[in-house]
Chains A and B, each alone.
Chain A
Amino acid sequence: MSYYFAIIGTQDNPLFEYDFGTSKQGGDGMARFTEQARQLNQFIIHSSLDIVEEVQWTNGQMYLKLIDRFFTSYISCFLTASNIKFLLLHQPPSTSSSSSALPHPSSSGSSSTSTLVQSSHHPPTSASTSSLSVIPSLSTLTGGSNSSTPTLIGGGGTSSRTSTSIAANPTSPQTEEAIRNFFAEVYENYVKAIMSPFYKTNMEIRSPVFRARVAAAGRKYL
């Protein structure tokens, strides 16, 4: 599993970014994003901000769980008291391990990358994709039960093969809990960062200690 974690400010401005890989089951903690996927991650995170805004004022929880999906990238969200967004993109390893699971356009120019986002994520096809992934997270929030979550997106072979593994199954209750713990630990450190009298809202968080703490939380839970 590869992870991309971002803290997004109130003006949709990035305050902190970090990518890493799983440390569970022998993982080496390194992200396996291709250079192209790495760039795409930022677009994916940004496009899920709209969904965050939809639930922001109807759900008072801080941990909003899974809120979006883009192909094999899953996005979990945590909202701070001051409406700063923690977004975690998690991507299970694809069967061909060297590539990211995203379809590669043959040309690698940035323009084609953005068209890919535009065409496949937002309009008609994407409406079903995103609503599919939103429904389970909302139903778990209101109903409390999340037994149906794994099967909703499942379908593929990977989820059934290792259903309890955080590294392979982004929709399992175990993964949801692991991410909850990760966010909680990052939040504690985030509050410490913003308590400083020199920290102003929407300032980039540059403290190397903070970065090390996020990395440690990633190693510990993911």
Chain B
Amino acid sequence: MSASKASRLGEETRIEKVNAELVVLTYGTIVAQICKDFENDYAEVNKQLDKMGYNIGLRLIEDYLAKSNTMRRCSNFRETAEMIAKVGFKIFLNVTPTITNWTSDNKQFSLVFDENPLADFVELPDDGRAQEQLWFSNILCGVLRGALEMVQMQVETHFISDVLRGNDTTEMRVTLVRYIDDELPPEDD
């Protein structure tokens, strides 16, 4: 599928909407609560957020498949990347991250977020650690991992920069680990 077709799909898809700030504030209160529960052990908070995202990704993919009107599997990882950025994130977060920094083996790329609604109202705690350790939007890594697993792709995802940490961009690195054989059920987390 061509890139332009992919982006048109994202825009045309008719989805029931809610106020963005309801979502953003709810996410904020979730992160704050997890930080409290784990006494600001940010490594653990990242893990919890990733896990939540993974659970969401597993379910989100059904939505995605229904709304993007395509049951066809992407033919290669580059096409998958297009669909993630232009349809998946468009549906989920109403943003379209830029795809960049492909490795030569076409197995690794970056998603650069010019906009990140989840972080709209956020300033990280001034405790000398949060900016080193917390990936505030880490739930997105899990969402991607879970969703792709449902379409037989095992990927590894992590943020490598975040404007909340004082970086100039927010960038997520996505690596294809392997295609999961159809016979094997997706592993349970």
Contacts and interface: CB of A to CB of B under 8 A. Distances in A.
Interface of A: 192-193, 195-199, 206-207
Interface string B86-128: 0000000000000000000000000000000000011111100
Interface stretch (B28-36, B66-74, B75-83, B172-180): B28-36
25 contacts: A192-B121, A193-B123, A195-B121, A196-B28, A196-B121, A196-B122, A196-B123, A197-B25, A197-B28, A197-B29, A197-B31, A197-B32, A197-B121, A197-B122, A198-B32, A198-B35, A198-B122, A198-B123, A198-B124, A198-B125, A198-B130, A199-B123, A206-B126, A207-B123, A207-B126
Interface residues of B, number: 13
A193 B125 CA distance: 11
Contacts of B29: 197
A192 B123 CA distance: 9
A195 B27 CA distance: 12
Nearest to A191: B121
Most chain A beta carbons < 10 A, residue from B29, B121, B123, B130: B123
Nearest to B26: A197
A174 B182 CA distance: 75
Nearest to A198: B125
B86 to A, nearest CB: 29
Ordered nearest first, which 10 A-B pairs have the shortest CB separation? A197-B28, A195-B121, A197-B32, A196-B123, A198-B125, A196-B122, A206-B126, A197-B31, A196-B121, A197-B29
Nearest to A192: B121
A196 B35 CA distance: 14
Nearest to A209: B123
Contacts of B130: 198
A197 B136 CA distance: 11
Contacts of A207: 123, 126
A191 to B, nearest CB: 10
Given A197-B122, A207-B126, 9 more contacts: A193-B123, A196-B28, A196-B121, A196-B123, A197-B31, A197-B32, A198-B123, A198-B130, A206-B126
B189 to A, nearest CB: 25
Contacts of A196: 28, 121-123
Interface string B152-188: 0000000000000000000000000000000000000
A110 B31 CA distance: 46
Contacts of B124: 198
A199 B29 CA distance: 11
A197 B30 CA distance: 9
Contacts of A206: 126
Interface string B10-32: 00000000000000010011011
Contacts of B125: 198
Contacts of A199: 123
Nearest to B21: A195
A126 B135 CA distance: 55
Most chain B beta carbons < 10 A, residue from A199, A206, A207: A199
Interface string B38-58: 000000000000000000000
A165 to B, nearest CB: 37
A193 B130 CA distance: 17
Contacts of A197: 25, 28-29, 31-32, 121-122
